[in-house]
Structure 1
Amino acid sequence: MIKIYWQKCRKVLRYYPSYRFLLLFLLLLILVSFLVFLLPLNPNKIDVTQLSQGPSLKHLFGTDELGRDYFLRVLYGGHISLTVGFVAMATATILGTAVGLLSGYFGGILDSILMRLVDVLSSIPWMVLSIVLSVLLEPGIGTVILVISLFSWMNISRLVRGEAISFKERDYVLYSQFIGEKSWKIIFQHLLPPILPTILVAATTNLSSAIMTESALSFLGLGIQQPKSSWGSLLENAQSNLQGAPHMALIPGIFIILTVLAFNGVGEFLRKIFSDQE
């Protein structure tokens, strides 16, 4: 199976070379954002002699109102935004997959209860609840991850439930039930593997949404707090300098847009690999 997917991956990359650039961009972005912590650099170092400087060879993206190197703050901001995105995506994916598998496989009362819970949570404007929780809880990375995770798992649960309902009617699953295999074994050995492609594609969409949500919360001042920086908090901080230094808002904004588009492109890339029509 792995060999088949690898062959389809190469085929898709050959026919759609644009995916190569998306993957290369994300690889470089992730490597730089996470390896920057290995360098003896301090993005929060204040230099009163370099206040609000424009881009130069010494400071590629200039400096902010406290003289901090903006290039470093963007890199460190990328690390935090990506960390929040990956952790929130992983948490929401695990929760949504678990709910979807249990609901789809067992059905009955459990299915009704879980799906009504999903319906209720989906009907409430997530931004309102996110803001309320962000206000009630102490702002920080942990709170942002918790808020995003709690309100981004419902779509995955619906997708997984639909797939589980379909696959549980297959002959090999019915035979496993007939010979008395335990339910958890049937779920993990016979239901989860064929649903994994759907989960992976949905996870990339969740990752993009998590990055956007973190940026929105931080922009509203409810996410990452100073002196730490994320792309969203950099946008929020740049509001006061839009006329004098518009690049301070443009740079993190461009990184957010490119990253979200790239992860959405990866989702399309995975969809083509897992599609039976390719």
Structure 2
Amino acid sequence: MRLIDQKALRQLKRNKLAIIGIVFIISLFIIALFAPYIAPHDPYQTDFFNTLQGPSREYLLGTDDLGRDVLSRLIYGARISLTIGFISVAIGLIVGVPVGAISGFYGGKIDIITQRFVDIMMAFPGMLLAIIIVAVMGVGLVNAMIAVGIVSIPTYIRLVRGSVLSIKNKEFVQAAKAIGVRESVIIFKHILPHCLAPIIVQSSLQIGVAILWAAGLGFLGLGAQAPTPEWGAILSQGRGYIRTAHHVTTFPGIAIMLTVLGFNLLGDGLRDALDPKMRN
């Protein structure tokens, strides 16, 4: 089964906002991939004679309190933020998709237990739950990624469960059951492929959310630790100088905002293209 047919692809191409999001995300990937060649300075190199300098010809986005080039740290930070986004979403997918599929397909006690567990997790605000997980596991970038990934699991469980419930009584599924196809094959070969469109749309949106939450953890000092150039950590390091050197926090904030916006535009475009009800 083709995930994106020609009609959906044409719909995506006509969505100018989605194209803007795609172009920005591709550009961000290129910047992250070639960071050592693009960054004008070493992101860890200090220069105590040029601390908290505003944007200039030598330092295009200025320097921080240790004289490090803000632009170079943002460029290297793109690597970290994208890695956080994709690994966190991967954790949510690996756990949430099969659990949601099994819950929706079998129903009964399995579904009740699973959904009550999801209800408990979703009763906490996402950021608060991530903070609790990091507090238990310990401070650090890896634990922050795991925490954000765990927080996204209930979303995938609910999404996949709902899709499976709407598909499992279709004729092709009943026919597969009638000829004796194993239930695991029915779930993962016949049902889940029809759930890929909403999963992909949710994943594209979730990457932006994961980057935002990870930046929040970094800002609170629970994620990446100094001197790692993670966008949230850069924001946290510059908040004490927001009145005298606002560029230290302004540019990382803009980077976070544009990245999340780019993934949101992509997600909205994929939703419009892949959902027949949303097509013009």
Paired amino acid for 2:269: F
Q: Percent identity?
A: 35
Amino acid at match of 1:29: L
1:129 to partner: Cα distance: 3.1
Asked if residue 19 in structure 1 is aligned to residue 15 in structure 2, the reply is no
How has the CA–CA distance of structure 1 residues 205 and 48 changed in structure 2, closer, same or farther, with 3 Å as cutoff? same
The one-letter code sitting in structure 1 at the alignment partner of 2:97 is T
Structure 1 residues 142-182: Cα deviation after superposition (integer angstroms, max 9, x where no partner): 10111111111112211110110111101111111121111
Distance of aligned partners of 1:242 and 1:120 in 2 relative to their CA distance in 1, 3 Å threshold: same
Kept in 1, the 8 Å contact 2:18–2:268? The answer is no
Return the alpha-carbon distance in structure 2 between the equivalents of residues 38 and 112 of structure 1. 53
Aligned to 2:29: 30
Q: How far apart in 1 are the matches of 2:29 and 2:4?
A: 27
CA apart distance, 1:119: 0.8
CA distance in 2 between counterparts of 1:49 and 1:31 reads 32
How far off is 1:133 after superposition? 2.7
2:32 aligned partner, one-letter code: S
- Measured at CA, do residues 206 and 18 of structure 1 come closer, stay the same or move farther in structure 2, by a change above 3 Å? closer
Task: Write out aligned runs for 1:153-172 (5 A).
Answer: 153-172=153-172
Q: CA deviation at 1:3?
A: 8.7
Unaligned runs of 5+ in 2: none
Deviations 1:57-80 (A, max 9, x none): 211111111111111111111211
Q: Superposition pairs for residues 1-278 of structure 1, below 5 Å?
A: 2=2, 5-14=5-14, 16-37=15-36, 42-277=42-277, 278=279
Q: CA deviation at 1:252?
A: 0.8
| Cα distance in 2 between the residues matched to 1:154 and 1:45 | 42
Separation of aligned partners in 2, 1:138 and 1:109: 34
Distance 1:259 1:123, change over 3 A: same
Question: Is the 1:5–1:273 contact (alpha carbons within 8 Å) kept by the matching residues of 2?
Answer: no
Q: Which runs of 5+ in 1 are unaligned?
A: none
AA matched with 2:243: Q
Contact 2:89 2:207 survives alignment (8 Å): yes
Alignment partners' CA distance in 2, 1:3 and 1:165 = 20
Contact 2:4 2:274 (8 Å CA) reproduced = no
TM-score (norm 1): 0.93
How far apart, CA to CA, are the structure 2 residues paired with 1:273 and 1:243? 45
**Aligned partners of 1:219 and 1:236 also within 8 Å:** yes
Q: 1:221-273: per-residue Cα shift (whole Å, max 9, x none)?
A: 11110010211111111111111111111111111111111111111110111
Any conservation in 1 of the 2:204–2:266 contact (CA below 8 Å)? Answer: yes
For the aligned residue pairs, the C-alpha RMSD in angstroms reads: 1.8
SS of 1:49's partner is: coil
2:126 maps to amino acid: W
SS of equivalent residue, structure 1 residue 133 = helix
Aligned residue identity for 1:216: G
Alignment partners' CA distance in 2, 1:6 and 1:55: 46
SS at match of 2:5: helix
CA distance in 2, matches of 1:223, 1:66: 20
Q: Distance in 2 between matches of 1:139 and 1:83?
A: 18
The residue matched to 1:48 in structure 2 has which SS?
Answer: coil
Shift, 1:4, TM fit? 5.9
C-alpha distance in structure 1 between counterparts of 2:179 and 2:2, whole Å = 29
Q: 1:39 to 1:257 in 2, by over 3 A?
A: closer
Change (3 A) 1:170 1:21: same
- Residue 4 to residue 26, structure 1, CA distance change in 2 (3 Å): closer
